[in-house]
Amino acid sequence: MFEKPYNAILYLAALVLLFLGVLLQTNLSLFLGLALFAAWMIAYVLFASAARTRTPGSLSHTITTCRQEASYFFVFYGVLLAILLAAGASDRASFLRLCEQADTPIWLFAIPFATASVCMLGVPICLESPASDEPSPALIGSFVIVTFLRNTSVFVFAHVILRILYAIAWAGT
C-alpha cells in the first residue's frame, strides 16, 4: 500500500473534502479529512515495514522539514495578531462576524497555530535502535506525530481560509 501511488487517493480525497466543506458549508468534511490522515498514519505504522526501512537520517530530515513548514504558521498568525491589535474594536468585531458567518469559530481558526506549536516542540530521543541500524520506535513515533500535526495544520488552515473566502464572496453578492 505504501510502495504504490495510493497516496494520490489520499490527496484527491483531501481536495474533494476541502471543496465539499465550502460548497456544503460544513465542518464535517474537515473532521473526515483529519480522520483520513490519522488512519493513513496509523496504517503506516502498524501495517507497513516502510517506516522501519527508512534510515534514521531520512526520518530525522523529514521531521526537521515538517517542523520548518509548520513554523510558517507563526508568521501568518503573528501578522494577523498585529493587524487585529492595531485595528479598532469595530474592525475586530467585523472579523469575528465574518468568522461566524463562515461557520469558523475562533477555536477552529486557532487549531493550525496550536498544532504547529506542538509540532515545533523538541523532545530528546534515540535515533537508532541499539541492536540495529533501524530507526528507533521513538523516532518513528516522532515522525508520525510531527507529520500528522503538520498535515492537520495545513488541512485545517486551508479549510478555514476557504470557508472565509467563500463567506466574503457570498456577502459580496
DSSP 128: B
Whole-number Å distance between alpha carbons of 164 and 23: 12
Rg over alpha carbons for the chain, rounded to the nearest Å, is 19
The torsion region of residue 122 among left (phi > 0), alpha (psi -120 to 50) and beta comes to: beta
- Greater confidence, 99 or 53? 99
Taking residues 105-114, report their average pLDDT.
Answer: 92
* Predicted local distance difference test score (pLDDT) of residue 171: 67
* Predicted local distance difference test score (pLDDT) of residue 1: 62
The torsion region of residue 25 among left (phi > 0), alpha (psi -120 to 50) and beta comes to: left
Residues contacting 35, CB < 8 A, separation 6+: none
Q: Are 139 and 56 in contact (CB under 8 A)?
A: yes
* Predicted local distance difference test score (pLDDT) of residue 51: 65
* Predicted local distance difference test score (pLDDT) of residue 32: 97
Domain residue limits, the chain = 7-172
Burial 67-92 (b: 16+ CB within 10 A, else e): beebeebeeebeeeeeeeeeeeeeee
What's this model's pTM, rounded to 2 decimal places? 0.89
* Predicted local distance difference test score (pLDDT) of residue 53: 72
Q: How many residues does the chain have?
A: 173
Q: What residues pair up with 135 in beta bridges, in sequence order? A: 128
* Predicted local distance difference test score (pLDDT) of residue 92: 92
pLDDT tens string 30-88: 999 999 999 999 888 887 666 667 888 889 999 999 999 999 999 999 999 999 899 99
Taking residues 116-129, report their average pLDDT.
Answer: 87
Taking residues 92-114, report their average pLDDT.
Answer: 91
Whether the per-residue pLDDT at 173 is higher than 70: the answer is: no
Whole-number Å distance between alpha carbons of 169 and 100: 15
DSSP 88: -
Helix, strand or coil, per DSSP, at residue 48: coil
Residue 125: pLDDT band with limits 50, 70, 90: confident
The overall average pLDDT reported for the chain is 89
Helix, strand or coil, per DSSP, at residue 38: helix
Tell me the residue type at 15: L
Question: Closest Cα to residue 29, out of 167, 138, 173, 163?
Answer: 163
Taking residues 118-131, report their average pLDDT.
Answer: 84
